[in-house]
Structure 1
Amino acid sequence: MTKLFSGVLLLGLLALTSGCANRATASLTPGADLSRIKSFYLIPGAEDKDNYLLIKANLEKRGYAVTTGPEMLPPYKSDAVVTYVDKWMWDITMYMLELTITFRDPTNNSPLAIGNSLHSSLTRKSPEEMVDEVLTNIFKTKAASQSEAK
């Protein structure tokens, strides 16, 4: 009887915690120097309506010049190119499940930095908060890697 109760209790706890996933990461490509970046070229997602504006506003708030436009063949006339992928889910309302932002080299499109944020329904954040979380983590990673290099 106690084994049955323990099993039911364990399954119940697993069911309650399965909806609480969250993750926020960022990484720099070895040798990438984000301190030289003063301007970004932001490529809106093909299906995006307004999320690129959140990224643009956040970067401008941090003091960067940002232009937006379609994807082109390199080189871009900026210090870095920004691309992103946003994933949405339905749980009573639509919410952003995951956001990945990539800073790319304007001459060859290779990644310089990648940031990611994932929040399931129970830990969801607004799109503005997701953008801020990803960009903050990228720039914190930049600061940490520069202090390690000294």
Structure 2
Amino acid sequence: MRRIIKPFITAIFVMLLAGCANTKLISDVDPQVDISKMKSFHVVKFEKDNRGIEKLIANKLNSMGLDASSGTNKTPSHPVDVIVEYQDKWMWDLTMYMLELNINFRDPETNYQFATGRSFRTSLARKSPEEMVDEVLNDIFRANKVVSQ
């Protein structure tokens, strides 16, 4: 009887634990837009953000060889190809962690949203904010390459 119960309890525990580790990475890019031709970006600070995520996004774009700035104004002081907006959600599970990050690319003249990316990670699958910014932006640019081929 013990031989049956012990593996059964272990299996249930593993299934419950696995259910707590959810991840989702989704990107969608308008197939009519070629992001690779866009070189200048302005990241608008999310009003509720006090962790500097706009700077992480701008730094990642700069590290990709693009010209990126960030600030609170939706209209930058200089012309740009893309307005980047984001929204971050945080949760508490022994420590604060980023649960979700949404990043949107908009045309600065028409306000048309032509690209969006989302990363969702529960506590057991958490990543640092820098890693979540990296994975969302990389996925948006990867999705655009697939569409434009």
Whether TM exceeds 0.5 here: the answer is yes
Q: 2:124 aligns with which of 119, 122, 130?
A: 122
* Structure 2 stretches lacking a partner, 5+ long: none
TM-score by length of 2: 0.85
Alpha-carbon offset, residue 67 of structure 1: 2.0
Give the secondary structure class of the aligned counterpart of 1:41.
strand
Q: Tell me whether 1:18 sits opposite 2:1 in the alignment.
A: no
Alpha-carbon offset, residue 30 of structure 1: 3.5
Task: Give the match for residue 88 of structure 1.
Answer: 90
Do the aligned partners of 1:87 and 1:99 also contact (CA within 8 Å) in 2? yes
Give the secondary structure class of the aligned counterpart of 2:132.
helix
Alpha-carbon offset, residue 72 of structure 1: 3.7
Alpha-carbon offset, residue 11 of structure 1: 5.7
TM-score by length of 1: 0.84
Query: Pairwise CA RMSD of aligned residues?
Result: 2.2
Q: Return structure 1 stretches of 4+ with deviation > 6 angstroms.
A: none
Gap change, CA 1:123 and 1:72, over 3 Å in 2: closer
Cα distance in 1 for residues equivalent to 2:57 and 2:89: 15
Cα distance in 1 for residues equivalent to 2:95 and 2:13: 25
* Structure 1 stretches lacking a partner, 5+ long: none
Cα distance in 2 for residues equivalent to 1:47 and 1:66: 21
1:96 aligned partner, one-letter code = M
Task: Give the match for residue 60 of structure 1.
Answer: 62
Cα distance in 1 for residues equivalent to 2:120 and 2:56: 17
Task: Give the match for residue 29 of structure 1.
Answer: 30
Alpha-carbon offset, residue 92 of structure 1: 0.2
Alpha-carbon offset, residue 12 of structure 1: 4.3
Give the secondary structure class of the aligned counterpart of 1:89.
strand
**How many residue pairs were aligned?**
141
Identity of aligned residues (%): 39
Alpha-carbon offset, residue 77 of structure 1: 2.0
Task: Give the match for residue 98 of structure 1.
Answer: 100
Cα distance in 1 for residues equivalent to 2:111 and 2:90: 26
Alpha-carbon offset, residue 14 of structure 1: 4.3
